């Protein structure tokens, strides 16, 4: 399996190479040259597999330059019950990603938030930590990870990389735009290889800085800069696994089609569902759930992709989705335009110059054919959804998952199971839960009192030069 850039100038790279590169040299995102195919027979043979065993069957199709025995051992060490056991009391953690039903079975929730940082990002990030350590040791080199987070990626990355040999993490986050719990998770870490930077701006500003540093070939080479954001293909490929696991959990017959709803900000989570579908997993609709930052909802309804600036990117009660420039969207559009790198360069040039672009009618026909639909949720919607689910099911869900349920309910089809992805545990958003149900959510014992711990973070303007200087001076110290 080899990989190519969405913008056409970086082709033929192997899995291990693109894991360390993150962003392609031409500014594009790496994609597999072809999607590996999975048959109905494969799916039926996989029904009895553990999560780690299923992950091996999927990831060996992408990571073809890693010896299979090595990959199998790595995944067995990552996907363990004692790592993914931070969820609700009484849950069956041996499944890693359990499912539960609501609305009389009309919607099945896939729990992805039982990992160390209580968010779905752990599903791929724990793997990425082990993968980085393996590749770096094999190549006798080091990596300085530069990432941006709207809330959950940062803590997942830091918890996955803390203590890893040859890895340092510089994580950018938008000052004052995450929940108190999210800030405490990241900023309370004292590990010497973890550095938190709060930029005065939005997540999009932080993400732009990461991309600018990655596109500076000299800086990237001098300081061995890599990334853990979902622009890194290894993360996306690992997220593909839980779509297969969810399908295997909720279906009853070969080839059964299900729909899937995903709360979406940076488009990486639902992109993994798209990839699973291209590989042969029987997925019908992919429902994109957005909050008030409804750039993606607008696109899927109109064909116009119009990003917002920091001032017009709203601070909401589902903060991990407060994103107006979805990085992984480029990978999806690459497929929609027939993998035409020239068309991607044209569209993303328009995006840079004009702040958006519009697809042609024939391209929008391909979007409709792809099965994507969307819905927008407001603060009132998610508060009502959290309250309704709690009152009817006795289940507390976080605000992002509530956005997903709100969207899923609009697209439930008779005779087709709807799988809605849980993206975080409610403990991370206590203030919103309190507003919705008048009570605080359950907090895992290891996180009790975390918001009172000493925090370590450097605040700086949203400026590429300032971040480069911080990294340079830190590494020289």
pLDDT mean across residues, the chain:
95
For residue range 7-65, list pLDDT tens digits in order. Answer: 998 788 999 999 988 888 898 999 999 999 999 999 999 999 999 999 999 999 999 99
Please report which confidence band the pLDDT of residue 303 belongs to, taking 50, 70 and 90 as the band edges. Answer: very high
Q: What is the pLDDT of residue 235?
A: 93
Per the model's pLDDT, the better-predicted residue between 229 and 432 turns out to be 432
Please report which confidence band the pLDDT of residue 265 belongs to, taking 50, 70 and 90 as the band edges. Answer: confident
- Report pTM: 0.92
Whose CA is closest to 125, among 165, 84, 89, 95? 84
312: helix, strand or coil: helix
**Exposed/middle/buried for 110, CB within 10 Å: 0-12, 13-18, 19+?**
buried
Residue 449 Cα distances to 149, 185, 391, 427, angstroms: 23, 11, 27, 12
Length of the chain: 477
Structure tokens that stand for 344 in this block: 């991607």
Please report which helix (H) or strand (E) contains residue 259, including its range. strand 258-263
Please report which confidence band the pLDDT of residue 446 belongs to, taking 50, 70 and 90 as the band edges. Answer: confident
Please report which helix (H) or strand (E) contains residue 136, including its range. helix 122-139
How far apart, in Å, do the first and last CA atoms of the chain sit?
40
Q: What is the pLDDT of residue 247?
A: 98
- Which contacts qualify for 350-357: CB closer than 8 Å, 24 or more apart? 351/305, 351/307, 355/306, 355/307, 355/309, 356/304, 356/305, 356/306, 356/307, 357/304, 357/305
Q: Classify residue 109 as left (phi > 0), alpha (psi -120 to 50) or beta.
A: beta
Q: What is the pLDDT of residue 85?
A: 94
Is pLDDT of 98 > 80? yes
Q: What is the pLDDT of residue 213?
A: 92
Is pLDDT of 177 > 80? yes
Report the distance separating Cα 426 and Cα 428, nearest Å: 5
Q: What is the pLDDT of residue 230?
A: 78
Is pLDDT of 67 > 90? yes
CA–chain centroid gap for 170, Å, is: 18
- Out of 121, 211, 220, 277, pick the active-site residue: 121
For residue 121, indicate whether it is catalytic.
Answer: yes
Share of the chain above pLDDT 90, in %: 85
For residue range 149-173, list pLDDT tens digits in order. Answer: 987 888 999 999 998 989 999 999 9
- Which contacts qualify for 47-56: CB closer than 8 Å, 24 or more apart? 47/248, 50/79, 50/96, 51/79, 51/95, 51/96, 51/97, 51/241, 51/245, 52/76, 52/78, 52/79, 52/80, 52/96, 54/241, 54/244, 54/245, 54/248, 55/79, 55/127, 55/238, 55/241
Please report which confidence band the pLDDT of residue 136 belongs to, taking 50, 70 and 90 as the band edges. Answer: very high
Please report which helix (H) or strand (E) contains residue 174, including its range. strand 167-174
Please report which confidence band the pLDDT of residue 464 belongs to, taking 50, 70 and 90 as the band edges. Answer: very high
Is pLDDT of 199 > 90? yes
Please report which confidence band the pLDDT of residue 310 belongs to, taking 50, 70 and 90 as the band edges. Answer: confident
Residues 6+ apart with CB under 8 A from 275: 35, 236, 237, 240
């Amino acid at each position: 399996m080899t990989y190519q850039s969405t913008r056409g100038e970086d082709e033929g790279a192997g899995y291990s190479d693109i894991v360390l590169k993150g962003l392609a040299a031409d500014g594009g995102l790496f994609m597999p040259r072809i999607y590996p195919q999975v048959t109905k027979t494969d799916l039926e043979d996989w029904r009895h597999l553990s999560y780690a065993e299923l992950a091996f069957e999927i990831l060996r199709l992408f990571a073809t330059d890693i010896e299979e025995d090595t990959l199998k051992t790595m995944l067995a060490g990552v996907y363990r019950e004692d790592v993914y056991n931070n969820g609700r009391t009484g849950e069956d953690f041996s499944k890693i990603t359990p499912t539960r039903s609501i609305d009389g079975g009309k919607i099945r929730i896939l729990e992805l938030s039982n990992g160390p940082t209580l968010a779905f990002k752990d599903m791929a990030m724990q793997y990425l930590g082990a993968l980085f350590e393996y590749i770096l040791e094999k190549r006798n080199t080091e990596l300085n990870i530069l990432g941006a987070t709207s809330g959950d990626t940062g803590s997942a990355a830091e918890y996955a990389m803390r203590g890893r040999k040859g890895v340092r993490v510089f994580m950018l986050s938008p000052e004052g735009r995450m929940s108190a719990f999210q800030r405490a998770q990241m900023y309370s870490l004292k590990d010497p290889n973890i550095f938190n930077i709060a930029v005065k701006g939005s997540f999009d500003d932080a993400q732009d800085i990461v991309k600018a540093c990655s596109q500076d070939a000299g800086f990237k080479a001098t300081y061995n800069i890599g990334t853990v954001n979902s622009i890194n293909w290894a993360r996306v490929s690992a997220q593909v696994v839980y779509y297969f696991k969810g399908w295997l959990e909720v279906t009853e017959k070969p080839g059964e089609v299900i729909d899937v709803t995903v709360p979406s900000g940076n488009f990486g989570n639902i992109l993994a569902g798209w990839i699973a579908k291209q590989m042969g997993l029987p997925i019908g609709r992919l429902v994109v759930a957005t909050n008030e930052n409804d750039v993606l909802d607008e696109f899927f309804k109109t064909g116009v992709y119009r990003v917002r600036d920091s001032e017009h990117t709203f601070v909401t009660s589902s903060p991990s989705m407060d994103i107006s420039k979805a990085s992984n969207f480029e990978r999806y559009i690459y497929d929609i335009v027939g993998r035409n790198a020239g068309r991607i360069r044209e569209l993303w040039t328009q995006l840079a110059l004009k702040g958006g672009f519009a697809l042609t009618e024939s391209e929008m026909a391909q979007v409709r054919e792809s099965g994507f639909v969307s819905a927008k949720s407001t603060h009132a919607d998610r508060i009502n959804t959290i309250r309704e689910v709690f009152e009817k099911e006795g289940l507390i869900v976080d605000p992002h998952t509530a956005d997903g349920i709100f969207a899923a309910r609009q697209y439930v089809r008779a005779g087709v199971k709807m799988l809605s992805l849980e993206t975080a545990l409610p403990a991370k958003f206590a203030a919103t839960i309190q507003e919705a149900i008048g009570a605080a959510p359950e907090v895992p014992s290891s996180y009790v009192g975390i918001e009172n711990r000493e925090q370590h973070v450097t605040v700086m303007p949203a400026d590429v030069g300032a971040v480069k200087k911080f990294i340079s001076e830190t590494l020289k110290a």
